[in-house]
Amino acid sequence: MSLPIVAIIGRPNVGKSTFVNRLAGAQDAIVHDEPGVTRDRTYQQAYWSDREFMVVDTGGLVFDDNTEFLPLIREQALAALAESSVAIYVVDGQTGPTTADETIADWLRQQTVPVLLAVNKCESPEQGLTQAAQFWELGLGEPYPISAIHGSGTGDLLDVVLTYLPPVEEIAETAEIKVAIVGRPNVGKSSLLNAFVGENRAIVSPISGTTRDAIDMVVERNGQTYRLIDTAGIRKKKNVEYGPEFFGINRAFKAIRRADVVLLVIDAVDGITEQDQKLAGRIEEEGRACILVVNKWDAVDKDSHTIYEYERQIKDRMYFLGWAETIFVSAQTGQRVEKIIDLVNTAAEQHKRRISTAVINEVLQEALSWHSPPTTRQGRQGKIYYGTQVKSQPPTIALFVNDIQRFNDNYRQYIERQFRKHLDFTGTPIRLLWRGKKPREAERETANRATRH
């Protein structure tokens, strides 16, 4: 079974995201002194005593306003309640009960999930009980005074939370493939996530900057578990102001770093932009496996040459991701979306692949027989003694040579092409570490390795 879920509910700016970070022992939820920062529902793993569970942060609930994202935020909060074992309703102890709090309390009483009332911002233990007592009038049972910032009172609340969670069972651990969905604003990242999941997991809007947090969603396909991470649209640095968008973009960069595979979503209508190239460079620098997803393919006027022209453009402008697969999809219609999973599986497998030293040196010998290392003007030739894989994710191969200065970029690229030709590595970057070594040491090491393999 999956971990039980605890939903965090409340109006804007009562400290829900701070409380989520407190429970999870992390700073993954964006905290900023501005209403409406959290919009989608975001999940983090938490534990208390001997129990593990997921906390789901939701956007601030507002019922007397239907502008912009507010109806969609309510929809996401309702979805969070539907999958939760218990909800924690967070209110502001310093402000006291408001009309908005009463409206939310009335709405929560109509739901079937049990609700616990957490009175946040009770920083003083002496005043906390007095602040919390005001909220008995909401009719949701005992109010628990807490401080999300300092952590006081949260233990007593969590003791009660545990009583609502299902009995402890053995949870089968399934190796997850973490997939980050990144791209510029409005290229269809959230639509792609929803198409995968088959529900409105993320808010989709034509308004740029709709997604702010990095949104995790776990799905299963054919026995394999995938953690899909939707991220904020990444604009040029000069266009980003300090605030929710700034934090969201930082989360997106962190999502790239923790992903196994990155789906770089490109708008088929706009074509490849300079910002797409910069994102691709970031993915390559981080050593992540990658798939280029050209979205909105249904919106492109096509003839028999269109796809070939796009492929040529991608090859020319994304040459440093020449190892990445490309797929043309429509998140809106679902066209070819399911085929992305097959590409993800291949890329993830290649990204964590390990090759024996014997096989690596067979490839090297073949490459050397076809094209010898270059010779300097002084008549000194480069020599490759042996190679061995030193890590995976991405696959990293150390090549021990007599002098790294004798191997120019063209020859280094030739060796990488030979590894890809013979060993595949589709969908993942590979790293070649060129290490100088004294000849006698290298020859002795080569003999030792030949004995072992």
- pLDDT tens per residue across span 94-112: 999 999 999 989 989 988 9
Per-residue pLDDT at 163: 93
Give 28 or 254, the one with higher predicted confidence: 254
Mean pLDDT (whole number) for 328-352: 92
The reply to whether domains 5-162 and 176-351 share a CATH topology is yes
What's domain 5-162's architecture? 3-Layer(aba) Sandwich (3.40)
Percent of residues in the chain assigned helix, strand, coil, to nearest 5: 40, 20, 40
How high is the mean pLDDT of the chain?
80
Per-residue pLDDT at 73: 65
Mean pLDDT (whole number) for 277-281: 87
Instruction: State pLDDT tens for residues 3-29.
Output: 788 988 888 888 888 898 888 875 544
Per-residue pLDDT at 252: 64
> Could you give phi then psi for residue 328, rounded to 5 degrees?
-105, 120
Report the candidate in 384, 391, 388, 389 with the shortest Cα–Cα distance to residue 412. 384
Taking the C-alpha atoms of residue 89 and residue 117, their distance in angstroms, rounded to an integer, is 5
Mean pLDDT (whole number) for 263-271: 91
Residue 59 pLDDT more than 80?
no
Query: Predicted confidence band at 169 (pLDDT cuts at 50, 70, 90)?
Result: low
Query: Predicted confidence band at 228 (pLDDT cuts at 50, 70, 90)?
Result: confident
pTM tops 0.85? no
Instruction: State pLDDT tens for residues 382-418.
Output: 899 999 998 899 999 999 999 888 899 999 999 999 9
Strand partners, 57: 8, 42
Instruction: For domain 357-452, give the CATH number.
Output: 3.30.300.20
Taking the C-alpha atoms of residue 241 and residue 113, their distance in angstroms, rounded to an integer, is 39
Task: Give me the residue spans of the domains in the chain.
Answer: 5-162, 176-351, 357-452
Residue 436 pLDDT more than 50?
yes
> Could you give phi then psi for residue 275, rounded to 5 degrees?
-70, -35
Radius of gyration of the chain (CA): 27
Residue 377 pLDDT more than 80?
no
Beta strands in 25-175 (DSSP E): 42-48, 51-57, 86-92, 115-120, 143-145
CATH of 176-351, one of 1.10.10.10, 3.30.420.10, 3.40.50.300, 1.20.120.720: 3.40.50.300
Report the candidate in 81, 77, 56, 183 with the shortest Cα–Cα distance to residue 192. 183
Give 253 or 178, the one with higher predicted confidence: 178
Instruction: State pLDDT tens for residues 355-368.
Output: 999 999 999 999 99
Instruction: State pLDDT tens for residues 121-164.
Output: 998 877 888 899 999 999 999 999 999 998 899 999 999 999 99
Report the candidate in 436, 375, 443, 442 with the shortest Cα–Cα distance to residue 404. 436
Per-residue pLDDT at 361: 96
